[in-house]
Chain A
């Protein structure tokens, strides 16, 4: 187990290095480059541009710039934002909580609802309920998230006036209720696709397990149907779902980016778009690294959880 953990951590580090190299290369190879925003300043001369490049170290060869960036990163210095001169870590730190809050709520919600729908559908296959949620899932999967966001704003904000259209809180009102009020719509919209995905996978996983011999053994023991289902069926069906949850993380992160933009949610997604617009490369690179770490951490935790639940994995 310790050897396994060591191997996985080692692989994660290698992956992070590869991600950072690709990210750095792609960013710096795009036309424009970090200096393009200064070029728009009225009265800017080539000389001044060169001086700025010199100051910022941008005239060095790319590999040197990368190694310098990487070395500083390891020491905890993620660079400073071109936009407002603040340390990148501080900038990201101010936005990460909002994103984690949105992602956490939405993930918890979609796992709970998706799992329930999946089990319910699998125990009554081809029932009206099963058909309804199947069609519902197809609809949710085939319509883009931002459309649901806009429709949600139209119905619940403009027509009914129940929910705010955006932001994380009303300025001047820092109460928990106010935060929750703002959280409802974005997290539900972000959940929609994931509920669909989860319920489909859970249905299949449950159906795979429900006809296995040991479920019959459990019934033959005289267990209640509820215990057979929760302990023996769901217990075994959850094993592949844990891995899936780890793999879903990137898509939730991607979904958060869109959702945050629609609802002007002050998270990493908004920051990412804004920073790209300003060619704020240090922040973009920082966000890239944070998302990569989140995703790797997610799948690492998922793998550890699977090993914890399934004794067969622990051995091999």
Chain B
């Protein structure tokens, strides 16, 4: 393989010229990407950034020759070295895939075959290209596992993917992609599904390996924070067109195109200032939690292998009306368990939850039912949390009607609320699939507001959304809180988001609240080591304005 020297005038590892890819007829636009040209310079990291539907993933798949059959390249060229990829035969493409160009994907949970061991899956890349004997390949696989920083490669080799954490799986994907020392690595949102600290580690790993091997990396992301961490040069895509390209410094510090500016502005930053509230006098708390506990038990008592996971240990806090409490932590920190305990989707093992002065923790479902409308939840996935076979009207009114509201009143209320959250009243008779992710999350918010709740629990409510949509939804929640004085618990893994919307923040680690304070303290003067670690892992703080 050619030895790329990043200091010498970089040659182009991949040259894309006037590439146009058609979408099937009847889609909202004609081309997935139209007439794009760019170079991936040898030994560099090129970030392609854009929101969902911008055509960035389609571009990556086109390079790999992995476009779905309904989508085809209609014009332009993709050259990799001397090979033209757009009209290469399947055999040539297959030979290039994994050997010259490798790819890693967004969701490490689904990108590995669940029925094959990690070792077999790495081995397969080399096997497919006829490399080495079984013993050579095994030795190489073990070396790769060590190289990507996985503990105990020998053990890892025989492990099945479901045993591994998200970060470990992404490391396995990277090991697989590196097996044949490809010249080009395409990374399609490889850290989007990961926690901040894991994301920082994977970004470090990719950059480190790229430098050591002189690889060229095409890194696809929607997060300008990630771009600031890793990119040498940047391409900004909107609606299938490149609106801006240049060096990372150029684009980040001196963006020209309004869309780029908008994207950069939408990146949530840590805010230094705590939110100020005029009327939050010393009103009585809506909810007061005292020493709340929850344990999960797994395994069987009979066979003596019972495991106890302490999901929530001795959580205590209070929240006044009109204020927002953030609960942040990584996956497995117990933040979602705490949220589920508060809305009684799950019973606690001990402690008290005083809601409006009543202890709801020991209540049975029948007793709690009357209070349920007062505590509402907004869910993470706006695609999964709305019944696809119900109209928006039904989704909004079913709950209140079940709680005794007259149907006519309920529909009137629902239409008013839809307008309130920024959708037109016509949405009432339509179905969830007709709406975008952001719109669905607005519907989710309207559904929660139908009950005039005193407490809203939002579990990762903006995590699945593009940054610009994220900003709009946060704004909406803010407005609603100002108007209605609802108290809000905002569960998130994104510290930047938390800093923008919360009055106080709880940081959780392995079921324990390790820090509790206003955002200014948590982010600028963290007291616990874990909080400091989390804050340090936030990508892209250097572009903070």
Contacts and interface: CB of A to CB of B under 8 A. Distances in A.
16 contacts: A3-B300, A3-B302, A3-B303, A213-B111, A217-B111, A220-B64, A222-B95, A222-B98, A222-B125, A222-B129, A223-B98, A223-B124, A235-B113, A236-B113, A311-B115, A312-B114
B128 A213 contact: no
A225 B66 CA distance: 12
Contacts of B90: 225
Contact of B128 (A212, A222, A311): A222
Contact of A311 (B102, B124, B129, B162): B162
Contacts of B173: 217
Contacts of A212: 110
B96 interface: yes
Contacts of B111: 213-214, 216-217
A121 to B, nearest CB: 16
B194 to A, nearest CB: 15
Interface centre among A213, A222, A311 (most CB of B within 10 A): A222
A213 B107 contact: yes
B449 interface: no
Contact of A216 (B66, B95, B302): B66
Contacts of B112: 214, 217
Interface string B116-127: 000000001100
A224 B94 contact: yes
Given A213-B105, A221-B124, A235 B115 contact: yes
Given A213-B105, A221-B97, 11 more contacts: A3-B302, A214-B114, A217-B103, A219-B97, A222-B129, A223-B128, A224-B94, A227-B128, A236-B114, A239-B115, A311-B162
Contacts of A311: 114-115, 160, 162
B31 interface: no
B176 interface: yes
Interface in A282-316: 309-312
A311 B110 CA distance: 15
Interface in A35-70: none
Nearest to B103: A220
A224 to B, nearest CB: 7
A47 B111 CA distance: 79
Nearest to B302: A3
Interface of B: 64, 66, 90, 94-99, 102-103, 105, 107, 110-115, 124-125, 128-129, 160, 162, 173, 176, 300, 302-303
Interface centre among A220, A310, A312 (most CB of B within 10 A): A220
Per CB-CB distance, the 9 closest pairs between chain A and chain B, nearest first, are: A222-B98, A222-B97, A213-B110, A311-B160, A221-B98, A220-B103, A213-B111, A214-B113, A221-B125
A120 interface: no
A232 B103 contact: no
Contacts of A236: 113-115
A220 B176 CA distance: 10
Interface in A1-44: 3
Interface centre among B97, B124, B162, B303 (most CB of A within 10 A): B124
Contacts of B115: 235-236, 239, 309-311
A106 B411 CA distance: 58
A218 interface: yes
A3 B303 CA distance: 8
Interface residues of A, number: 23
Given A222-B95, A236-B114, A217 B300 contact: no
Given A227-B128, A311-B160, A220 B98 contact: yes
B114 A222 contact: no
Interface in A199-241: 212-214, 216-225, 227, 232, 235-236, 239
A312 B128 contact: no
A232 to B, nearest CB: 6
A223 B93 CA distance: 10
Nearest to B93: A222
B111 to A, nearest CB: 4
B30 to A, nearest CB: 23
A235 B110 CA distance: 15
Contact of A217 (B96, B105, B160, B162): B105
A239 B90 CA distance: 30
Nearest to B125: A221
Contacts of A222: 94-99, 125, 128-129
Contacts of B98: 220-223
B113 A220 contact: no
A224 B128 contact: yes
A236 B112 CA distance: 12
Given A222-B95, A222-B96, A235-B115, A214 B128 contact: no
Contacts of A239: 115
A274 B113 CA distance: 52
A268 to B, nearest CB: 37
Interface in A168-217: 212-214, 216-217
A52 B299 CA distance: 57
A3 B111 CA distance: 32
A224 B93 CA distance: 10
Contacts of B129: 222
A306 B94 CA distance: 32
Nearest to A223: B128
B461 to A, nearest CB: 25
Contacts of B125: 221-222
A220 B124 CA distance: 11
A214 to B, nearest CB: 5
Contacts of A232: 113
B126 to A, nearest CB: 9
Contacts of B110: 212-214
A232 B95 CA distance: 19
A312 B303 CA distance: 19
B336 to A, nearest CB: 21
A165 B276 CA distance: 91
Contacts of B99: 222
Contacts of B105: 213, 216-217
Nearest to A218: B113
A232 B116 CA distance: 9
A236 B97 CA distance: 23
A265 B216 CA distance: 70
Nearest to A232: B113
Contacts of A217: 103, 105, 111-113, 173, 176
A212 B107 CA distance: 11
